[in-house]
Amino acid sequence: SLFRLKDLEVPKLGDSDVHIKMLAAPINPADINMVQGTYAILSPLPAVGGNEGVGEVLEVGSRVTALKPGDWVIPADAGLGTWRTRGVFPEKMLLKVPRDIPVLCAATLSVNPCTAFRMLADFETLAPGDSVIQNAANSGVGQAVIQIAKASGIKTINVVRDRPDLPQLVERLMALGADHVVTEEMLRKPEMKDIFKSIPKPRLALNCVGGKSTTEMLRHLQPKGTMVTYGGMAKQPVMVPVSAFIFRDVRLRGFWMTQWRKDHAQDPESVAGMMDSLCQLIRRGQLTAPACTQVPLQDYKAALEATMKPFVSSKQILLL
């Protein structure tokens, strides 16, 4: 296996450093891609895995101003290496989060909900009553999109792969606030027209699959609508009929949360504004952590294996 559990010395605390005790950290597909070397970020090896999680501040250096012992923090950026029990990091690598949100919400805040929030906000100006279509709707991002959209009065059409436990999955997504849940196969069926009797065709499509799924979603997009690709689980290219470009002038965009953070590194207000909005939704019960399985760190091998299995509807979270 590429992974080993190792005991290391905690480095000395510098003036601008923060010593944290990690509380919980999820395993995301991108974390595994990073270790496999198939992701855009490569950490020099040996490296600690994990790009998100929540920790508690134990001790701060003399120059640290924004954090104090007892505060909860999450990574300000990808590549922190959160699968560890303790760590010493420069203050600028951490963001403070409120302690009055559930620990699993804090642990899963910095990647999926932020991605969902930005994609709903940054590409199309959506108003209450507008609709969005997305594939892999049961993913962490998908679940966040459903809930954030619902809180803003935006309708969601959610595409999932057919599976043995489909009725349970549909029920779970509807409980989160999904308006419609359809399978990839249903996207091609004439019955799709029935959906658009009650809601407008979407102006925004969110794609993290690629291949056929994308082409089918594009059919239902409004003229001049935008499709944002943020993942490619099918490992197939995005195929677009020429007619969609010419006659419907659809726009194809890409989104990568890591890049957004780089672009907004000098703009702490935009980051703080997003975090505040998300924490407000969490406090109001409008945004929950994705379905999670909590795993003690020593069982990390089982957690990694579970993450790689198809049709996993539960995110593995390492308890540290």
Going by DSSP bridges, is the β-strand pair 180-183/155-160 parallel, antiparallel, or unpaired? parallel
Catalytic residue among 33, 39, 85, 264: 39
d(Cα 29, Cα 295) in Å, to the nearest integer?
16
Compute how many other C-beta atoms are within 10 angstroms of the C-beta atom of residue 311: 12
**Does residue 263 sit in helix, strand or coil?**
helix
d(Cα 82, Cα 159) in Å, to the nearest integer?
31
Compute how many other C-beta atoms are within 10 angstroms of the C-beta atom of residue 213: 22
Concatenating the DSSP letter of every residue in 194-224 gives HHHHHSPPPSEEEESSEEHHHHHHHTTSPTT
Q: Is 230 a catalytic residue?
A: no
Tokens 């909005």: give the residue: 277
d(Cα 137, Cα 160) in Å, to the nearest integer?
6
* Phi and psi at residue 150, to the nearest 5°: -55, -45
Compute how many other C-beta atoms are within 10 angstroms of the C-beta atom of residue 217: 22
Distances (CA, A) of 57 to 29, 47, 61, 70, 94: 27, 22, 11, 5, 10
d(Cα 145, Cα 143) in Å, to the nearest integer?
5
167, 186, 107, 166: which is closest to 140 by C-alpha? 107
Query: Which positions are annotated as active-site residues?
Result: 39
